[in-house]
Structure 1
Amino acid sequence: MIDIKDMFACGVHYGHRSCFSNPKMAEYVFAEKNGMQIIDITQSAEMFTEALTYVDQIVRSGGRVVIVSTKQSAQALVQKHGEEMGMPFVDQRWLGGTLTNFKTVRSSVARLEQLEERFQSGRLEGLTKKERLILQRERAKLTVNLGGIKDLDSLPEALFVIDVAQERIAVNEANKLGIPVIGIVDTNCSPNGINYVVPGNDDAMSAIQYYLECLSSVVKAAADDFRKEREKIEAKNKPVIKKKQEAKKVVAEKSEQEEPESSSAKKVVKKVVKKAAEAQVVSEEPKKKVVKKVVKAKAEGAEAPKKAVKKPAAKKPAAKKPAAKESAKKSTEE
């Protein structure tokens, strides 16, 4: 995928002046011409291929790579390709603590999302003109600084940095957290702290565009493969879900069939309870009439009718046993 002719055409091989060169990049310099250093482009092609292979592995596993370049010549390109790839990017300013103080950054992102939702829904009633302007400025400032990493919910798997000297704060934070760094390193920069060094020009717009186009093609292909694999996995899991749904339907149908029987039994029980209640009401009616008569007699001054008291039945005398008397007489005669 990496073509040396394209790299030559884009000016990837142009380095800085010899007076600004970094000794640590001497092994990647092919020659010096008119006080300018020429980068060994064969090494650049090999190392860039290795870096893109690593990016491909990350994206295929569902990871994310943050593109970082705040150079004025690269801001528009970073934003364009970052949005096309669907990857987070930083093109305006790297806020100190973006990685090491990630929770605080996420709170600022939440504030930005809240403001965007408020403006989109038009919930600005009751605010004065000055208050609206203050909210608009706050929203614009947060969008500039955090708009590219708005969808970054967790720490990224790698950083792709153009001009590592200018983005040294981002490189240091990634090194502290153990996040791999892929860096475009010019001859005036130091390769220290860069896990995947790509020697090349980091100032020309043509070279920056070439790097981002290669990265974009790799990321898009890997993301498509990852999406297809995920769809296949979901398709395999769908039959199990369908079987569960069918089982639920069968259970629901059985319960519907059993419902009429249970409802008929409930109706029979209700009828029995109703009859028992009616019988109890009928038995209580005479008692209510007696109570009413007593109350009426008291109101008229007469004595309340006394209830007839049943006398206990007289006990019958126990019959004497004649056999006992005869046995006594026999004993006296003898």
Structure 2
Amino acid sequence: MATKAEVKDLLEAGVHFGHLTRKWNPNMAPYIYMERNGIHVINLYKTVAKLDEASEALKKIAASGRKILFVATKKQAKDIVAEKVSAVNMPYITERWPGGMLTNFVTIRKAVKKMTSIDRMKKDGTFDTLSKKERLQVERLRAKLEKNLGSISDMTRLPGAIFVVDTMREHIAVKEAEKLNIPIFAMVDTNSDPKPIDYVIPSNDDASKSIDIIMTAVTGAISEGLAERKSEKSAEKEGKDADVAKAPKETVAAETSSIPEEKAAAPEKQAEVAEEVVVVEVEVKTEAPASEAKKEASKTSDAADLTKIEGVGPKTAEALSNAGLDSYEALSGSDPERIKEILAEASSRLAHLDPGSWPKQAKMAAEGKWDELKEWQDKVKGGVE
């Protein structure tokens, strides 16, 4: 289990140091403890509470199989974020934020595919047939793409959430995520506005020690979520193997029950065979409901995870569940206009969403067409046709 950050550890790392009082953002007032020597001091008890809340949410997103994109282009955070995030196999941006990274994701994917095609050229020998000048140009292009997009080469769809270090510096990333209703987690200093952020972690975003301790706690939670997902998959596999192992018992029961009378042994032997058949049938009948119950439980757990629908974040899923649309079947049978009304009633921040494709996606999910759903989501930008 990941070690949770304590107030003492945060204090030693300097997480409580804010900016000069004249540079503060009034919206950060609830997270400020006091002012000392012209500098605001952050309330670390609130930091711990918010960090635990954010870690729990990130753990759930990781357990659901969605990717979390980390954004940190400032010098102090680059190396720390790259090291911590690569350990949990999540995408990250530590160089310049490419404009339209989220809102124009299709074009970004084309650039990544270009990088892959260059690698293919080098493997199949096509690269060697180019002139010296052309090879040099291709190598420079490959190096540039690797520097800017290398860490997101495995990200084939929009992330389930983004984590930002310094929202002032990464304001474009925040705006793009906000537009697509992607949950935003962020380290927010006293000079930043916490309103656009879904999960605020009030902390010093300038000191490397402060960034390190927050990133350690966050990546630890993600690691837990990934471990849970792995154990669930292995348990599911074991369950399937157990079902396959039970199948021969049914065959034995069928074969034994069809023994002709003329070929049967003495009456005593017939009685023994009959008893064995009854025992086998009882075993099969007893095990069948358990297997069915397991399948039903699996269906229920799948139906509850509405975040697998492109465009539906944790808060949106919660709003839909509260309105009774807590399964894929219910969502697929609902009208987009009704969904829009539900979102508007739940929160003004959700009112701008376009749920036009959600029933279509939910129908594919309800019918178990996951490959078809993923292919559709990869082709459609942001889940909107």
Shared fold (TM-score, shorter chain, > 0.5):
yes
CA deviation string 1:271-319 (max 9, x = no partner):
xxxxxxxxxxxxxxxxxxxxxxxxxxxxxxxxxxxxxxxxxxxxxxxxx
Q: 1:242, CA displacement in angstroms? A: 7.6
Q: 1:55, CA displacement in angstroms? A: 0.5
Matched, 1:142 2:153: no
Whether contact under 8 Å (2:122, 2:128) holds in the other structure is no
Partner of 1:218: 221
Q: What is the rounded CA distance, in whole Å, between the counterparts of 1:4 and 1:33 in structure 2? A: 19
Which of 50, 54, 59 is equivalent to 1:51? Answer: 54
Instruction: Write the letter of the residue equivalent to 1:42.
Output: Y
Which of 5, 10, 27 is equivalent to 2:8? Answer: 5
Instruction: Write the letter of the residue equivalent to 2:168.
Output: A
1:234-253 alignment runs, 5 A limit: 234-238=237-241
Larger radius of gyration, structure 1 or 2?
1
Q: What is the rounded CA distance, in whole Å, between the counterparts of 2:36 and 2:173 in structure 1? A: 33
Partner of 1:329: none
Q: 1:196, CA displacement in angstroms? A: 0.7
**How large is the RMSD of aligned CA atoms in angstroms?**
1.8
1:32-51 alignment runs, 5 A limit: 32-51=35-54
Q: 1:243 to 1:143 in 2, by over 3 A?
A: farther
Q: What is the rounded CA distance, in whole Å, between the counterparts of 1:58 and 1:108 in structure 2? A: 27
Which of 193, 197, 212 is equivalent to 1:190? Answer: 193
1:286-301 alignment runs, 5 A limit: none
Matched, 1:180 2:183: yes
Q: What is the rounded CA distance, in whole Å, between the counterparts of 1:67 and 1:31 in structure 2? A: 30
Q: 1:243, CA displacement in angstroms? A: 8.9
**What SS class does the counterpart of residue 201 from structure 2 fall into?**
strand
Matched, 1:65 2:68: yes
1:18-167 alignment runs, 5 A limit: 18-120=21-123, 122-167=125-170
Q: 1:220, CA displacement in angstroms? A: 1.2
What's the % identity of the aligned pairs?
36
The two structures have a TM-score, normalised by structure 2, of 0.61
**What SS class does the counterpart of residue 41 from structure 2 fall into?**
strand
CA deviation string 1:65-89 (max 9, x = no partner):
1111111111111111121010111
Q: What is the rounded CA distance, in whole Å, between the counterparts of 2:205 and 2:6 in structure 1? A: 18
CA deviation string 1:144-196 (max 9, x = no partner):
11111111111111111110011111111111111110111100111121001
Whether contact under 8 Å (2:59, 2:223) holds in the other structure is no
Q: What is the rounded CA distance, in whole Å, between the counterparts of 1:129 and 1:143 in structure 2? A: 21
Task: After the TM superposition, list the runs of 4 or more consecutive aligned residues in structure 1 that deviate by more than 6 angstroms.
Answer: 241-244
Partner of 2:368: none
Matched, 1:204 2:204: no
Instruction: Write the letter of the residue equivalent to 1:138.
Output: L
**What SS class does the counterpart of residue 76 from structure 2 fall into?**
coil
Instruction: Write the letter of the residue equivalent to 1:73.
Output: Q
Q: 1:208, CA displacement in angstroms? A: 0.8
Q: 1:240, CA displacement in angstroms? A: 5.6
Mind listing any 5+ residue stretches in structure 2 that lack a counterpart? 248-385
